[in-house]
Structure 1
Amino acid sequence: MAENGTVVTEFILMGLQLWAELQTGLFFVFLVLYLITIGGNLGMIALIQSDRCLQTSMYFFLSHLPFLDICYSSIIVPQLLETLGTDQMVITFEHCTIQFFVTLCASTECVLSVVMAYDLYGAVSNPLLYATAMTPQTRLGLVARAYGGAMVNSVIRTGCTFSISFCKSNHMDFFFNDLPPLLKLACSETRPRERVIYLLAFLVITTSVSVIFISYLFIIQAILKIRSAGGKAKTFSTCASHITAVALFFGTLIFIYLKGNMGKSLGEGKTVSVFYTVVIPMLNPMIYSLRNKEVKEALKRVLNRMKVSQVE
């Protein structure tokens, strides 16, 4: 613990202290969740790449979400497992660069969710024009902009962290070095930085949610005009998986950043952070496979091909 103005250069993660009696059990729980996450998301990427019927713009954008989910888990969970398995809870200040990659993944997923909603709107409302407008170059350009915009947000957020002085306690009440708990340990003025962080989070989240909401209003209007009951059901199943994933992801972000007390309710924040960094990346492949008719059909085709190859 830092005293008498001593500059803090390392932090002790105390977020799992209350779960000390369950440490061994939690280690295996998080390990299993991590393995399921990696396997499920890699499987989703492989399925999209191997099935010709999924070689569309929507699934091109969708294939980036499993990649981001793998990155989420690989940034957070190994550190969590190390803490649970070895009681090694000390991290250096330089290790706070982990925030850069967490923010990069979250921001990219926000923008890609918007792109997917707009893509769905174009595919449903005007499929002929959409087919000619959404070229491979356009897809790559949209994805590049998503990563580029997320990169800017990540640089600003990480810059705010490295410009803070820490000379209070080095005991961080969290299970990874996120910015809200770091702000509670600062001895320098943090309000200007908090305003910048909050403003960026507000702009990214509210803009994304607004565009997605408006896109789906037009999508629903276009679906209702489809005469075929089968066509309606297929389109609704595609939209349902995206809406479910978006609701889970943005719901947790809104709770953390737009609740109005960022960094003050760390008890609730720990639970929500576990949910969006560990649980949601594991659930997303299930959501897109179980609630999406095209993905389920593609999975059946792949399994059938595997059975045929084994017989031969």
Structure 2
Amino acid sequence: MPTPHDGLCTIGELAEQAGVTVKTVRFYSDRGLLPEASRSAGGHRRYGPDALGRLRLIRSLRTLGLPLPEVRRILDEEDEAGSALEDAVAGQLRGLGSQLRALRWREAALRLVQECPPGERAGRLRLIGAVPAPPSTAPLARFWRGWLPSRMPTRSTAAFLEVAVPQPPEDPAPAQVLAFARLNAFVCRPCTGAERPQPRAHAIAGAGGSAVLYAGLAEAYELAGTQLRGDREPRPGEALDSFVAAYVSAYGTRDTPDFRRMLAGQLAADPRIDRYWEWVAEVITPRGGPTEPTPGSAHDWLRAALEAQTAAATA
């Protein structure tokens, strides 16, 4: 590439060898990414033997979408396989992943609007328009943090949020977009404390007891989920015993027929958010697959099993 007389080349020669315009070479030079070796007597830029390789590297990095500050950090490292390059590529991959998720979400949202009856389009547009793409689960997490007992241990709260807050699918169907948008609207609607009363179990167990309660309920819900996947009717058994044991441990009492009757009555009077769990099931159930159990559906199955058992004992 360099001319024989001094080993240097002009800006035009460098641009020709790299297959770019003179304007491109000047742009990178002016930003300090492509240093000049010297200037001619007439003030023209001259470049050394390593300029072509450096220019090609710059162009490759820019083609991958790396911004100029990232390109500069990579060029400052002598080893092209250094951490700056690895970090930049990883960052680009994360960004592209987020963009792809957003595009898939928007495509499903557009199909949702396209396929719905004309009379429903305005309402659906308002629903999905309130959800960013890709969607955020932060409003759902805030809803549950306000509902859970205050001063509940952080680890217990995180464990509950993991199962109560559904993650949006990577490649959603239109129905899943609609269900998630309804969840978002549900948790973001204005409401008073009277509209979102907490179960009596919170007041009885207290913050520490609630941590014990939710840990036990998680095990019971998992057992009940197996029953739900098998399409089994609510009935006594290991799942129900685990469910009752969670309340027994939290309340510091004993498992007796009287306690089970009291618990059944208390649970029947507790506030319900069935629609929330129905929408959660729609969000987490794979396309064409059987409905996935949720903490809500598991709780209902266990409560029905408890009511049936106490009713039979009374009879």
TM tier, smaller: under 0.3
Whose RCO is larger (CA < 8 A, sep 6+)? Answer: 1
TM-score by length of 1: 0.27
| Structure with max Cα Rg | 2
**More helix per residue: 1 or 2?**
1
